[in-house]
Chain A
């Protein structure tokens, strides 16, 4: 048995109650190894997931299913650095995933 986070999927179920993600362009900040990413990616038109911890991003990339490759991109970047190079009005939904504090 490996470590599993939120196998009950309470987090993604709460998210689906609060936000309609279907067909949306989404930025997920603090994606870690993609725990939440995998659970929402199938609804998104495009999902860019960033995290400042490179080992987590490398692990997430290695687990990216082929059918999600056109939709999901993992990028190693702190939010501040990413935002400084990103044009405004780029996303429909922005998720601060345990990363505001």
Chain B
């Protein structure tokens, strides 16, 4: 992470701007709506929280050593919608294929159990199902210092 920030600093023009976006360490929420009614809602297993803390610390350190100055920071909701639990599972598998810290066996088991509970709540083959993953993310803008 330190390396990434150092390279970002080098690649930016002197008056440039670095924007970092990464999830908050809080676990995401998985919800299932059926015919517009919420039938399932549960916090997801903690995954990647340490990596997100490390990202926060890397930015703090870059500011402390005067590589960057922090301009603004904001938190926003990021929702992913899928027509089924399986579709969401496939999508998450795809977008996390290159995560630096792949899920361990225990985490994978907890996710599988969560998806099984959500799938049961959705009802197999039921139409009008909407599966929602709610994450919160932080966006930070940083100016490079000479």
Interface residues of A (CB under 8 A from B): 1-8, 10-11, 13-15, 17-19, 27, 29, 32, 51-53, 55-56, 79-80, 83, 86, 88-101
Q: If A17-B74, A18-B71, A27-B11 touch, does A96 touch B139 (CB 8 Å cutoff)?
A: no
Interface residues of B (CB under 8 A from A): 1, 3-5, 7-8, 10-23, 48, 51-52, 54-55, 58-59, 71-72, 74, 76-83, 87-88, 91, 94-95, 97-98, 100, 137, 139, 141
Residues on B with beta carbons closer than 8 Å to the beta carbon of A27 = 11
Q: List 26 A-B contacts (CB under 8 A).
A: A1-B83, A3-B87, A5-B79, A6-B79, A10-B77, A11-B78, A11-B137, A11-B139, A13-B76, A19-B17, A27-B11, A32-B95, A86-B11, A88-B10, A88-B11, A89-B11, A89-B13, A92-B15, A93-B12, A93-B18, A95-B18, A100-B4, A100-B55, A100-B58, A101-B55, A101-B100
Residues on A with beta carbons closer than 8 Å to the beta carbon of B48 = 101
- Among B97, B98, B100, the most chain A Cβ lie within 10 Å of the Cβ of B98
Q: If A14-B139, A19-B141, A52-B98 touch, does A79 touch B7 (CB 8 Å cutoff)?
A: yes
Assembled-state Cα–Cα distance A59/B80 (Å):
19
Residues on A with beta carbons closer than 8 Å to the beta carbon of B14 = 89
Residues on B with beta carbons closer than 8 Å to the beta carbon of A89 = 10-14, 16
**Nearest chain B residue, comparing its CB with the CB of A87:** B11
Q: If A18-B71, A89-B11, A89-B14 touch, does A96 touch B20 (CB 8 Å cutoff)?
A: yes
Q: Decide if B81 touches A94 in the complex (CB within 8 Å).
A: no
**Nearest chain B residue, comparing its CB with the CB of A13:** B76
